[in-house]
A and B are shown apart, each in its own frame.
Chain A
């Protein structure tokens, strides 16, 4: 059962990177987008 547990864990652990790639593709978001920095439009929170 140890290796079954490990395989399930491995599948779960790689899923976030696939989710990140898919979501960024869907949104058209990419790493080179400029940082908005801190502007007057920031929440007062």
Chain B
């Protein structure tokens, strides 16, 4: 066991737990769900960035670039950056709606409780799988670096983040995210500086085999386009980024949160891509891929090793706490709340905390089961659910927010069409029942687009005055008058 690394990680856990305790002082349902809609720009940027950078980013993207080079751009970076732009464009409108959750958008826009509950269920299931896989990834790093069992690591990791999330909800999550964001930037920058000192300016010479984009997940131009769409949809329709808009202090903060957060994420992505192409020169071929940055940290040891370990754990916790928080909020607000709308603030707060705690325990049990049985199907399910989520949400949400002509039937068909359009072809191809001629995202977005157009043509949209004023009014009055 590496006692030094264990002490470092325990100090970090203590700090985030203390923040959770502090957040518990603001004990109300609005504080728990949207941090009283008073999150400042530094906190907003921190939480957007930290939620954005997951273990997949730090571990997965460096590993992917070390093997597939320039394919990282169409596979992930370009689509994500387009997603940031879409989020900026919709930020002001989402903030003005003063909602508490993304699924409630559909009831506010169309008066459709069914659509609200459906999107809430899809989101909750997707994020439960996301929490499990992220916990497994984080615990693997913790166990390899510290030298404790992976089961112990997953329980430690999950307990800490569940406790501070349950205690303070979004109030705690945004504050821990700010610290986690700082540590992630420090860790990646430190690794980059160490790599530069090892290789000098030649670090920027890209090896021949890593130059082409037509490799890895993007062997053809069609695959490149598909992956850009997947990345774009995955970011633009991601409920935990959209949820952040409801908590910002005002409209300007909502927009700058994404603008500044994207700049910061862009710089970190640049460092990650360069680290990825350096890895083949720093490590043996057998250590490339997902274990590359961990091996690099272990080789460097000392301060860099500790910083990288904490940075990776921060990346895991900052994403998982947001996912877990959203599971609690969406279940309480949009599933329990839709069935029982007369609950008091206190009752809702208690339910949200209880659901978050129970889901934290269930996801931990799921992650432990995953480790013990080595069940690879969970990551397959995660891919299916996340693709399904963006197919089911992106087009109906953005079109309903931006265009008056979208009808309730159009939004419903688009959501259901996107959900089944992605899920059924992918599930059928996974089971070997059919061979897809192209990526399943084309089916998902295709059916979703057809659904919104056909549904809105068949049934005319007729938004009432309240919906017109709330969704398409031009005023910024809500920020000034109240």
Residues of A participating in the B interface, judged by any CB pair closer than 8 Å: 1-3, 5-6, 8-10, 12-21, 23-24, 27-31, 33-39, 41-45
Contacts and interface: CB of A to CB of B under 8 A. Distances in A.
A31 B206 CA distance: 42
A36 B479 contact: yes
A45 B38 contact: no
A35 B100 contact: no
A12 B104 contact: no
A17 B36 contact: no
A35 B37 contact: yes
Contacts, number: 151
B41 A5 contact: no
Interface in B287-309: none
12 contacts: A5-B70, A13-B81, A14-B266, A15-B85, A16-B84, A31-B41, A31-B250, A31-B252, A33-B252, A37-B36, A38-B36, A45-B99
Contacts of A19: 85, 88-89, 255, 259
Nearest to A7: B73
A16 B211 CA distance: 27
A24 B478 CA distance: 15
B210 A17 contact: no
Contacts of B258: 16, 20
Contacts of B341: 44
A7 to B, nearest CB: 10
B62 interface: no
Contacts of B73: 5-6, 8-9
B245 to A, nearest CB: 12
B255 A20 contact: yes
Q: Interface majority SS on B: helix, strand, loop or mixed? A: helix
Q: Interface majority SS on A: helix, strand, loop or mixed? A: helix
A43 B85 contact: no
A39 B281 CA distance: 58
Interface in B340-374: 341
B78 A2 contact: no
A16 B213 contact: no
A28 B477 CA distance: 11
Nearest to B333: A45
B43 interface: no
A41 B481 CA distance: 11
A33 B41 CA distance: 12
A16 B97 CA distance: 21
A39 B477 CA distance: 14
Contacts of A1: 70, 211-213
Contacts of A29: 92, 250-252, 255, 476, 479
A42 to B, nearest CB: 5
B44 to A, nearest CB: 10
Contacts of A44: 341
B101 interface: yes
Contact of B81 (A9, A23, A38, A39): A9
Contact of B100 (A15, A27, A28, A45): A45
A15 to B, nearest CB: 5
A15 B341 CA distance: 41
B351 to A, nearest CB: 16
**When A and B form their complex, which 7 residue pairs have the shortest distance between CB atoms, in order from nearest?**
A13-B266, A45-B104, A5-B73, A12-B81, A20-B259, A17-B259, A20-B255
Given A6-B73, A23-B92, A35 B250 contact: yes
A14 B260 CA distance: 9
Interface string B79-90: 001101101110
A15 B78 CA distance: 12
B223 interface: no
Nearest to A9: B77
A38 B476 CA distance: 16
Contact of B273 (A6, A17, A21, A31): A6
Contacts of A16: 84-85, 87-88, 258-259, 262-263
A30 B41 CA distance: 11
B108 A9 contact: no
Contacts of A36: 37, 98, 250, 478-479, 482
B260 A17 contact: yes
A39 B367 CA distance: 40
Contact of B256 (A3, A10, A27, A31): A31
Nearest to B103: A45
B249 interface: yes
Contacts of B92: 23-24, 27, 29
Contact of A27 (B98, B251, B277, B333): B251
A13 B269 contact: yes
